[in-house]
Structure 1
Amino acid sequence: IIADRLDANISDTAMRLLKDDPQTVRARIKAAEAKAGHFILKDYATGTLKPSAINRLLERWRSEGIILDLLAVDYADIMAAEYRSDNQIDNLRSIYIDIRAIAHDHDLALISATQTNRAGAAAHTAKMTDVAEDFNKIRTADVVIAINASEAEKKSGEARLTWVASRNTEDNFSLLIRQDREKLKFLTKVMGRV
């Protein structure tokens, strides 16, 4: 599924149309490769990936001369804690602290996603207090950006990115963006502050 999403985005093709003309999709992806950086995709079953496995993988790649700039974890909430507890909040706190330390040790940017609680899902704009399960995720992150879109915004291909928490910069502001969800393009244009 992730590979299909990437193919849709890179080839500028709607997900539902990927199989209609695979030669064109393949040609567009090949053309994009000429100006692209390296991308490595690893897939793990839900609840099996531990932070230590990420660290070992990064160390192995480093020994092979592969240094990452960005690590995207999709998503940290469904990783496995190094030492499982019966307390889900303890598990999440451990996961977030451990992957933050890995990002620091390997001098790379780390991005992940989490979900809002019911109040956040119903809100026009999610706030930092609307994070699901454990507020420690907010405390651990350097920057937390909420992705918000009303039904009207979704229909018009828009969304709002709201800086709900930031350790070292301004927060509590939103940027209006344009998206193309059918082609899995998260951001096609920044419209400005709202």
Structure 2
Amino acid sequence: MTTFDQAFQEQLAAHYFRDDVFVSAVGSLVKPEYFDSETLQALVAVQGGYLAKYNACCTLGTFVQVLQRELAAKRVKIADMTEVQRLLAVIHRHPLKDRQFVIDTIAEFARHQALLNATMTMADALDTHDPTKIDNALKVVDEAKSVGAVDHVEAMDFTTTRADRIARRRQVAQGSATGGGITTGMPELDKQLTPWNGWGRKELSILMAPPKGGKTAGMIQFAIAAAAAGHNVFYASCEVSEEIIGNRSDANISGVPMKDLVAREREVEAALAQWEATPGMGRLDVQAFPIRTLKVSELTRVLKKKEAAGISYDMIVVDYLGIMRPEMNYGDNKRFGLAEIGQDLRALGTVFNAAVLTAYQTNREGAKKAQRNVTDGTDAAEDYEAVRTADVLITINASPDDRQNGEVVLYFSEMRNAESGLRMRFSQDLGCMRFLISFVGYD
């Protein structure tokens, strides 16, 4: 890692004070608190105020006038004016021939200094033994980790990558590539989840249904299918325990109804042993959280801890959005909190490069519609904003006759990258938690 010593910090300050191109490109990453010298911190703060007002660097003479006004107004305090003279002389003598080096390095510098400051904040919080201060310090650490992150992401050259996109599509057409999606375990459903041929990474997919409509059964089956295909899956249950999720998963894999798991123990064990022996099997980790307590920030910390232990996940399943807790208390405006959770879950997929799958309930009118036709996003409980962020919103629908025949209709309500309005009919057996068994046809 680059050594961010006093010489580098003075070099950086020279560009921040005199180089308009530098300021335009990465000036937002320069913060007074990132500098070790208190005098340099004060000078950078004054320069930052000037840039915010005039959007351009100034001459040495102008800066001295601005500094004198700030000192006179007591908005800035500087103890060592001799050091001010030395620093301004160094900054304005610098040849500014190494702009690109400083631009390439500043993101690393900013993150390093932000984390250093966050570490000291955390140490102070730990000394107080105050849970609130410690929680706030953890948030500061998380924010510090993201400083300058976007500067490490290269933009795609649309023209030069055309051949790569064409080759990728041809591979998908020939069956030699999956499209990069996380399989649902149902080829017919994967095919409609374009362009990924499955759940898309960095996307939020939502299953919406009335109470007892099969949401959890669907999420369990899709998690199992992803793990069997070699993907690592994290399943966060906000409603029931790990043991219940485990039993439901056993029923799905074995095809043995939940009520018969004990009586048909040998059959269940044989099916599980065979499933676990699947070549290239991924992980399926399940963790339960008390209802209405899990925040996306807390889930992020859990996943970061796993990441630090060398475990990364391709798919994150949250059961489910409607019973999570927003980051702040919105009082009577519950819909704002639900909208925030949806947005944060989508961002979670981007942070971990994973597909995020969750569920949501329909309102009363939606529950009625699910039995006679199909529901859509406007039937979301509380407010449409809760599901508006979704890249994929699939509603689960079944009339009394469908239930009798063991069938279900999936309706592609709102699709960001796929065809909306599609109705797909599948056979199912919720008694043994098999949300989808086989594709019946298009309605």
TM interval, shorter chain, is over 0.9
1:22 Cα deviation (Å)?
Answer: 1.9
* Cα displacement string for residues 22-45 of structure 1 (whole angstroms, at most 9, x for unaligned residues): 233122212210114210000011
Partner secondary structure for residue 13 of structure 1: coil
Post-superposition, which runs of at least 4 consecutive aligned residues in structure 1 deviate over 6 A?
none
Is residue 117 of structure 1 aligned with residue 366 of structure 2?
A: no
Q: Is the 8 A contact 1:143 1:165 kept in 2?
A: yes
1:53 Cα deviation (Å)?
Answer: 1.2
Distance 1:8 1:98 in 2: 32
1:73 Cα deviation (Å)?
Answer: 0.5
Of 243, 250, 275, the residue aligned with 1:32 is 275
Distance 1:98 1:17 in 2: 39
* Cα displacement string for residues 99-139 of structure 1 (whole angstroms, at most 9, x for unaligned residues): 11111111100111111111111112112211111111232
Q: Is the 8 A contact 2:377 2:388 kept in 1?
A: no
Structure 1 stretches lacking a partner, 5+ long: none
Distance 1:10 1:139 in 2: 33
What is the correspondence of 1:51-62 to structure 2 with a 5 Å cutoff?
Answer: 51-62=296-307
Partner of 1:128: 377
Partner secondary structure for residue 41 of structure 1: strand
1:188 Cα deviation (Å)?
Answer: 0.8
Of 335, 343, 348, the residue aligned with 1:89 is 335
Q: Is the 8 A contact 1:138 1:165 kept in 2?
A: no
Q: CA RMSD in A?
A: 1.1
Q: Is the 8 A contact 2:256 2:264 kept in 1?
A: no
Partner of 2:308: 63
Partner AA of 2:275 in structure 1: A
Distance 1:192 1:157 in 2: 14
Partner of 1:187: 436
Distance 2:440 2:296 in 1: 37
Partner AA of 2:367 in structure 1: A
Is residue 150 of structure 1 aligned with residue 150 of structure 2?
A: no
TM-score, normalization: structure 1? 0.96
Partner secondary structure for residue 170 of structure 1: coil
Partner secondary structure for residue 65 of structure 1: coil
* Cα displacement string for residues 63-86 of structure 1 (whole angstroms, at most 9, x for unaligned residues): 222111111100011011111220
Distance 2:389 2:294 in 1: 19
Q: Is the 8 A contact 1:144 1:165 kept in 2?
A: yes
Partner secondary structure for residue 425 of structure 2: strand
Distance 1:89 1:116 in 2: 14
Partner AA of 1:192 in structure 2: G
1:191 Cα deviation (Å)?
Answer: 1.6
Please state which structure has a larger fraction of its residues in strand: 1
Partner secondary structure for residue 40 of structure 1: strand
Structure 2 stretches lacking a partner, 5+ long: 1-243
Partner of 1:4: 247
Please state which structure has a larger fraction of its residues in helix: 2
Point out the more displaced range, 27-36 or 37-46: 27-36
Partner AA of 1:85 in structure 2: Y
Point out the more displaced range, 20-29 or 154-163: 20-29
Distance 2:283 2:382 in 1: 34
TM-score, normalization: structure 2? 0.43
Partner secondary structure for residue 414 of structure 2: strand
Distance 1:2 1:30 in 2: 18
Distance 2:267 2:412 in 1: 38
Is residue 50 of structure 1 aligned with residue 306 of structure 2?
A: no
Distance 1:170 1:137 in 2: 21
Distance 2:245 2:397 in 1: 22
Point out the more displaced range, 70-79 or 25-34: 25-34
Distance 2:393 2:345 in 1: 15
